[in-house]
A and B are shown apart, each in its own frame.
Chain A
Amino acid sequence: MKREYVYRAFERFWHWMQALLIFFLALTGFEIHGSIHFFGFEQAVTLHNGAATMFLILIAFAIFWHLTTGEWRQYIPTAKNLRAQVEYYIFGIFRNAPHPTKKTVLSKLNPLQKIVYAALKILVIPVMVVSGLLYMFYRYPQKHGIESLNISGLETIALLHTAGAFFLIAFVVVHLYLITTGQSLTSNLKAMITGYEELESEHTPEQPSEPLAGEQTV
């Protein structure tokens, strides 16, 4: 085992800032949606729009960081070990089996994470951003000088935005739980806070653990 610097300062800042913003956007967003009452509708709208602007800035920096550092490659989905990873969460984890994918600085995401995070980045977040921007800036056709955006109503935009919000909350629930599935219960959390994590030496050959005999995978 070796103590490695896995998550760099910006990455950690980005991650926690994103966490905070998503939490705050969900809180204010569901107030605008009418599900909860906390700040009051007017304030909820102001805060939600403010947080959304911050999120946009954060996203712009994050895209820049991922491109310049080449870290975006971490998210390229792969089918390799995917099945093993699913089987690990369904069976292996209960019998103390080793993680099927070795975490390294150059490959810190397991195949399931790669797929889920890639989907978040190229599907869910863009849908939320675009629908959110339209939500904020939509105008009824051709009034007050916004002639290029002909949107006759909020319904589609709002429903898409709401559906995305529900999905993100479901994601956060599972994400928070999966923190506990690292080397130890808290190793993932510690790593995302300090940046350092105890990793198995990189030269250790990656060995997907085979499901035990007599067990069928789903």
Chain B
Amino acid sequence: MKKIFLLLTVFTLAVILSIGSLTKKNTEAAPVAELKEKYSKPQKPSADHSKFIQLKKKFTAPEQVTEACISCHTERHKEVMKSSHWNWEREEYIEGRGIRYVGKKNILNNFCIGISSNEQSCNKCHIGYGWGDAKFNFNDSSRVDCLACHDNSNAYIKQSAGAGMPDPSVNLSYVAQHVGKPLRTNCGTCHFFSGGGNNVKHGDLESALFDPSRDVDVHMAGNGVNLQCVDCHTAEKHQMLGKMYSVSSMNRNRSTCEQCHGELPHKSDVINEHTIKVACQTCHIPEYAKVNSTKMYWDWSTAGKLKNGEPYEETDSLDNDVYMSIKGSFYWERNVKPEYIWFNGTASHYLMGDSIKGNGPVQMNTLYGDYNDPEAKIIPVKIHRANQIYDPVYKTLIQPHTYGAKKGEGAFWQDFNWKTSAASGMKAVNLPFSGKYDFIQTEMYWPVNHMVSPKEKAVQCNECHTRENSRIGNLRDFYMPGRDSNAAIEWFGIGAIVISLVGISVHGTMRIVMKKKNRKEKNS
């Protein structure tokens, strides 16, 4: 017996000691103070481009500026022309599909749907000049638009529906002499306004980030470290870190919080432990679209109504479009609580021509992952839902022809005729169109990564660890304290306590009754 107790003591001590030594951590995070110091120092460029003779002349075409750039930066255009910013596609391995070349060039979304046949308008945001139709020459280096990203004067704008050409009003010489490292204004011009307006697509990328408060974005706030996009989305030979899973599929080349903050950035072990299964963004971005609304639902089926033969628009009290004849009806939200999913960094997509199974919602992109996947973490997402045009006979989503300069060429925004628009668009992508069209519900997943709140505003424990209205109440493939319980154990447990209470009450009452009775008998 003594031996058993000795063994037990030794065992207990061994357990305590081994757990103590097993949990030692050797990963140390860079203290936030150091990061603040490093990133708040203003960058001084090594060259003043306004002093370069090559740039001190009158440029009559933007291609001349590009040639001037290349005359000094002799190899840079080659790097640019390998980038996804130029090609609008990447080589991706898609699970179950193999290697595909996918990107904005050929992937459909559930906003403006797709660029094919609409290049003249959509490709305003391409970093090239003149991609107005399918015939664009991707090997012509003079068409690289250096200024879109490197203009530091804030005077460069691209022409509306100009296939990526600069607005005629731009003074190219002035802009060319004021170039430098990309600023938020460069990236934001396209990435904040994607989908046809401010904050339409992402929800966490919008014009408020040009000059946000600390509450809106702790990293980009002017009175904070004032990070530029490229501080995190670093580039090596013009290949930017980071991409969006609306158009990419593989777990590579991601821009992460851990780049700066390390894997275990918290003082508390319990919180650090969460990072195994919970992405930083999940707790640190409690809501997105903090300043301006973002589009949550887009119903294309109502598009095409006219007033006196003319298209019209309706807006809500916050000046958001709620109806546009050219696009249909929208539902917007502000200060949105994200939805949450498991994500392992790989995604699949609806590829043009894929046949639709069932009645929807069609998944425009599918983000993979579950609790048992060691790579997967819980991430916040914006799920954009839409009702968009499809071919009920061939069971494919339709690439409609929307933008057009003239009436009668099939562009929906001119003719308001879905049939000719669908025919023209599907012809452009070489896919068959049955002549019949209908609308189907679709869903698209947008991971939320920006608008990180100050730590005091991070999601609190009890917003997830609660039985009712848990933020991650939809993720049921694991046990979470505070949220989950086992019905059998609850019943048996509460039952045991109730039986004990009833038992002692009955026993106690009987003792009192019997005592009185015994006393009476004794007295009598």
| Structural contact, A170 and B496, CB atoms closer than 8 A | yes
**Interface presence of B169 (CB below 8 A):** no
> What is the minimal beta-carbon distance from B485 to any residue of chain A, in angstroms?
7
**Interface presence of A47 (CB below 8 A):** no
**Interface presence of B12 (CB below 8 A):** yes
**Interface presence of A93 (CB below 8 A):** yes
Those of A27-70 within 8 Å (CB) of chain B:
32-34, 40-42, 45, 49, 56, 59-60, 63-64, 66-67
Given that A140-B276, A155-B479 are contacting pairs, would A166 and B494 also be in contact in the complex, using a CB cutoff of 8 Å?
A: yes
| Structural contact, B466 and A34, CB atoms closer than 8 A | yes
State which of A130, A139, A155, A159 has its C-beta within 8 Å of the C-beta of B276: A139
Number of interchain pairs (Cβ within 8 Å): 140
Given that A45-B270, A67-B2, A170-B500 are contacting pairs, would A34 and B482 also be in contact in the complex, using a CB cutoff of 8 Å?
A: yes
Bound complex: CA A169 to CA B467 (Å): 22
Given that A133-B15, A146-B22, A158-B481 are contacting pairs, would A163 and B492 also be in contact in the complex, using a CB cutoff of 8 Å?
A: yes
| Structural contact, B486 and A159, CB atoms closer than 8 A | yes
**Interface presence of B56 (CB below 8 A):** no
Bound complex: CA A154 to CA B507 (Å): 39
> What is the minimal beta-carbon distance from B276 to any residue of chain A, in angstroms?
5
| Structural contact, A166 and B486, CB atoms closer than 8 A | no
State which of B24, B270, B501 has its C-beta within 8 Å of the C-beta of A145: B24
Those of B483-508 within 8 Å (CB) of chain A:
483-486, 489, 492-494, 496-497, 499-501, 503-504, 507-508
Bound complex: CA A177 to CA B502 (Å): 11
| Structural contact, A154 and B270, CB atoms closer than 8 A | no
| Structural contact, A96 and B518, CB atoms closer than 8 A | yes
State which of B24, B374, B484, B504 has its C-beta within 8 Å of the C-beta of A141: B374
Given that A76-B1, A137-B19, A154-B481 are contacting pairs, would A159 and B489 also be in contact in the complex, using a CB cutoff of 8 Å?
A: yes
Bound complex: CA A60 to CA B9 (Å): 8
| Structural contact, B23 and A146, CB atoms closer than 8 A | yes
For B371, give the chain A residue with the smallest CB separation.
Answer: A153
For A45, give the chain B residue with the smallest CB separation.
Answer: B270
> What is the minimal beta-carbon distance from B506 to any residue of chain A, in angstroms?
11
Q: Which residues of B contact A59 (CB under 8 A)?
A: 12
Q: Which residues of B contact A32 (CB under 8 A)?
A: 465, 481-482
Given that A93-B511, A139-B273, A143-B374 are contacting pairs, would A41 and B482 also be in contact in the complex, using a CB cutoff of 8 Å?
A: yes
| Structural contact, A40 and B462, CB atoms closer than 8 A | yes
Q: Which residues of A contact B500 (CB under 8 A)?
A: 170, 173-174
Given that A145-B26, A146-B22 are contacting pairs, would A174 and B478 also be in contact in the complex, using a CB cutoff of 8 Å?
A: no
**Interface presence of B8 (CB below 8 A):** yes
Q: Which residues of B contact A96 (CB under 8 A)?
A: 515, 518
Q: Which residues of B contact A145 (CB under 8 A)?
A: 22-26
| Structural contact, B518 and A155, CB atoms closer than 8 A | no
Those of B231-286 within 8 Å (CB) of chain A:
263-264, 270, 272-273, 276-277
Bound complex: CA A159 to CA B488 (Å): 10
Q: Which residues of A contact B484 (CB under 8 A)?
A: 155, 158
Chain A residues with a Cβ closer than 8 Å to the other chain, count: 54
Chain B residues with a Cβ closer than 8 Å to the other chain, count: 61
| Structural contact, B493 and A177, CB atoms closer than 8 A | no
Given that A41-B462, A130-B15 are contacting pairs, would A33 and B374 also be in contact in the complex, using a CB cutoff of 8 Å?
A: no
For B508, give the chain A residue with the smallest CB separation.
Answer: A177
Q: Which residues of A contact B507 (CB under 8 A)?
A: 89, 177
Q: Which residues of A contact B27 (CB under 8 A)?
A: 144
**Interface presence of A162 (CB below 8 A):** yes
**Interface presence of A23 (CB below 8 A):** no
Bound complex: CA A166 to CA B461 (Å): 24
Q: Which residues of B contact A177 (CB under 8 A)?
A: 504, 507-508
Q: Which residues of B contact A78 (CB under 8 A)?
A: none
Bound complex: CA A59 to CA B486 (Å): 29
Those of A125-146 within 8 Å (CB) of chain B:
129-130, 133, 137, 139-146
| Structural contact, A169 and B497, CB atoms closer than 8 A | yes
Bound complex: CA A72 to CA B390 (Å): 78
User: Contact mask B17-52 → A, CB, 8 Å, 1/0?
Assistant: 011001111110000000000000000000000000
> What is the minimal beta-carbon distance from B334 to any residue of chain A, in angstroms?
28
> What is the minimal beta-carbon distance from A34 to any residue of chain B, in angstroms?
5
For A146, give the chain B residue with the smallest CB separation.
Answer: B22
Bound complex: CA A176 to CA B268 (Å): 38
| Structural contact, A60 and B482, CB atoms closer than 8 A | no
| Structural contact, B462 and A42, CB atoms closer than 8 A | yes
Bound complex: CA A3 to CA B273 (Å): 55
| Structural contact, B22 and A149, CB atoms closer than 8 A | yes
**Interface presence of B514 (CB below 8 A):** yes
**Interface presence of A148 (CB below 8 A):** yes
Interface centre among B501, B504, B508, B515, by most chain A C-beta atoms within 10 angstroms, is B504
Q: Which residues of A contact B493 (CB under 8 A)?
A: 162-163, 165-167, 169-170
Given that A63-B12, A94-B511 are contacting pairs, would A166 and B22 also be in contact in the complex, using a CB cutoff of 8 Å?
A: no
| Structural contact, A41 and B485, CB atoms closer than 8 A | no
11 A–B contacts, CB within 8 A, in A order: A49-B270, A133-B16, A144-B263, A148-B22, A154-B481, A162-B493, A163-B489, A163-B493, A169-B497, A170-B500, A177-B504
Given contacts A140-B277, A144-B25, 9 further A-B contacts (CB under 8 A): A42-B461, A56-B16, A63-B12, A96-B518, A140-B276, A143-B276, A153-B478, A167-B493, A177-B504
Lowest 3 CB-CB distances: which A-B pairs, in order? A166-B493, A155-B479, A177-B504
Residues of A within 8 A of B (CB): 32-34, 40-42, 45, 49, 56, 59-60, 63-64, 66-67, 72-73, 76, 89, 93-96, 129-130, 133, 137, 139-146, 148-149, 152-155, 158-159, 162-163, 165-167, 169-170, 173-174, 177, 180
Residues of B within 8 A of A (CB): 1-2, 5-6, 8-9, 12-13, 15-16, 18-19, 22-27, 263-264, 270, 272-273, 276-277, 371-372, 374, 460-462, 465-467, 478-486, 489, 492-494, 496-497, 499-501, 503-504, 507-508, 510-511, 514-515, 518
